[in-house]
């Protein structure tokens, strides 16, 4: 297993409901990442469809199936992670991520926590995932897990994936601008994301790779800021603020060894989880 590899952060915007046009952009970025020598190329949440779908969520699943096959075929020698609308059963829809490689769909991961506050109303359209959907993928470069946006605002998915063996956790996101600009021109949401990603990396001794949508869509504007955070909480790579971008960052699994020697991650008191389950 390779100890050092690179990841391409494909921080794009998507045309709402236009899977065909969004597919073109995906294929362009997959090819760009392959030419750069990246091991992975990662897109934002619902990158094939756009985020503010509302009732369009019911109309794009078939187009997503066709697009997934096209991106999988294009993903020769490079792992691709993207977001799409999955229809696991007729009339049941999920906000989901797919891992593609060498013409194959290696797996699909639905979103565990569906936000239903502020501008978000995902529970109206999507079915949430459960623990049965937890997957750790054993790739040629690393063991990895995949989360989607709100999942990382709760500690359980990342902890579960890390305990199942993931050394790298990808988080694909469509996080819009929220709150007023403050220190260093960052909104409340952006500052919160930086702290949460660093916390998840340190507490689970994993790399956190965050890819966010950028640009305007419907009445929202997405702030980008995709990043790679090392297991000791250090920012390894950072994409532009507000605009589309394409950034290559390095993942060095040797850092895991050094960090885990001085980490309490090995300690786990089940009694706390038993208590929380009863509350």
Active site residues: 45, 111, 149
CA-to-CA separations, 82 to 17, 67, 101, 267, 278, in angstroms, rounded:
15, 11, 12, 33, 36
Report CA-CA distances (Å) from 269 to 101, 170, 204, 205, 260: 38, 26, 15, 17, 18
């Amino acid at each position: 297993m390779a100890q050092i590899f690179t990841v391409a952060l494909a921080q794009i915007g998507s045309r709402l409901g236009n899977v065909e046009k969004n597919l073109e952009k995906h294929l362009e970025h997959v090819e760009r990442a392959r030419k750069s020598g990246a091991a992975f190329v990662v897109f934002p949440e619902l990158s094939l469809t756009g985020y503010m779908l509302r009732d369009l969520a019911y109309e794009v699943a078939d187009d997503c199936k066709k697009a997934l096959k096209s991106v999988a075929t294009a993903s020769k020698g490079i792992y691709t992670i993207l977001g799409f609308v999955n229809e696991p059963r007729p009339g049941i829809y999920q906000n989901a991520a797919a891992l593609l490689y060498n013409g194959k769909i290696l797996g699909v991961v639905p979103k565990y926590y569906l936000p239903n506050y502020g501008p978000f109303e995902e529970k109206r359209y999507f079915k949430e995932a459960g623990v049965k959907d937890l997957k750790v993928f054993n790739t040629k470069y690393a063991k990895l897990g995949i989360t989607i946006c709100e999942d990382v605002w709760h500690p359980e998915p990342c902890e579960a994936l890390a305990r199942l063996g993931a050394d790298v956790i990808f988080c694909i996101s469509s996080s819009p601008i929220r709150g007023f600009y403050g220190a260093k021109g960052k909104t409340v949401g952006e500052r919160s994301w930086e702290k949460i990603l660093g916390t998840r990396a340190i507490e689970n001794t994993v790399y956190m790779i965050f890819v966010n949508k950028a640009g305007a869509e419907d009445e929202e504007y997405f702030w980008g800021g995709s990043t790679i955070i090392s297991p000791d909480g250090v920012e390894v790579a950072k994409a532009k603020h507000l605009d589309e971008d394409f950034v290559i960052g390095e993942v060095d699994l040797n850092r895991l060894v050094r960090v885990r020697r001085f980490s309490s991650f090995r300690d786990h008191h089940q009694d706390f989880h038993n208590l929380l389950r009863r509350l």
